[in-house]
Structure 1
């Protein structure tokens, strides 16, 4: 069996330095860390998880919390991209991932209680129910947490620059000559509310009126069906909008389905811009113009921020990741 002493001999470094790398100490240079990890891989070294836990007083396990009624966190392609990059960074740093809930073996427990039972070191939180007292209990605790697309002064947070993305979308439609621009919102969510506020600000800045009935909310989990329903409501307006900015790509897909069902077409009759740049966006007909969120950077940065706190880093962190407009075929100039 390969041990840290074999790695030390191979690299010419001390066993103490090798041990520090596998136990997550920060006082080792990146060059030395890389040399040790590369040598460990070549030799086929597998760290002893039990021994490491005894040494560091950590389980090396990160919990992932989703809102439970909808399951949107795990099904939505945006979150899938974030989770994948989060996993890559976390596992490269020696952490396993575990989904947490309020139900363990049929017995109801709070999120915090679940984390204590499983020995969770920290939690990344996606789409929680803010009204759930068990969620608030988690925020009030000392357990390290990282919140995606949420706002709180209690824990570290990360999100995309929703306001800037919305500005880019509305100004692009305006540059094409559109003045009657409607909005399909993302419901009472952090991202949905930020994108609605960004839409209203952009319209005001451009001197464009927001017509009555031009703002319709989709569902909080940004489903295709709710986008379709919202677009059907917009199509009942006395004066149809010439363009629609949807707060999510799934909402935009639903809007395109509704437009087609009414005998109209995109972009000939109505232009559409989404938000996310999910994988299917470029394969739609027409290909969807959208605001791209950097899911890799969101996930990898979220993992770095949470692990920093788990490993003793002080202070609450907050990060806002840049976005960009991806122009495809779902908009036309008037």
Structure 2
């Protein structure tokens, strides 16, 4: 009996993913601008448009809604942008690790004030304990994209409710008045009662305005029972860091955040002329990427941060 041999038809290979088009799309999606993406990638806007059309043809979907002078992501484009941003971030980090045999680099994003006043004075102790881990600190107040920007650990001052990451309270941030010791010693007016502040310049942080639960001078004066002080008087600074530095320079009295003034209080650059302190709805948060495979160096650094916030200041050399 004759048997017919049936052969399976060869499976047609799927064209490889257009990686250059994906990188171009990610930049255009992040900026929502072909011109800005072109500047970042050092190509022309026409080249960006060509790569995006190439990717759309490959996928068979529209990724952008093209308007007269702007572009917007379609739902399909928005979903792809999130995934591509994460994957390209992972790819970049893998290439960095393969490119060099340098010690492990751990990227930390935090505010300049926290880095200067709390983290940097303590960082030598982490290096002593983990000499093979190179810590790179990036300072910014902007919300960080851990996947796109490649950060491993974040420290932020805020109310919490951070989405898509693992977050825990690192330190509370009570508020109290601080000033230079020379300010009170050289003044004709003693500073022993909250109402005595009427003889001094109040230094304000504009970041406290409009943030529910973040104490401003009006809150502190009311809680302290001061009735003779104009809470609105005095200069306004763009950050608490600048206000505290102005206080250390003798320009007035600022409301200090406990973690950011600890070292200056220890060194005598600042003093607490009045004891009253207020609770703060904002705190310093420790943030990590959500991952199924935690890295040993990240876990070590996070545990070191937890331990450091409990260590006495006299241990800092």
Q: If you compute each CA radius of gyration, which structure gives the higher value, 1 or 2?
A: 2
TM-score by length of 2: 0.37
Larger relative contact order, structure 1 or 2 (CA cutoff 8 Å, min sep 6)? 2
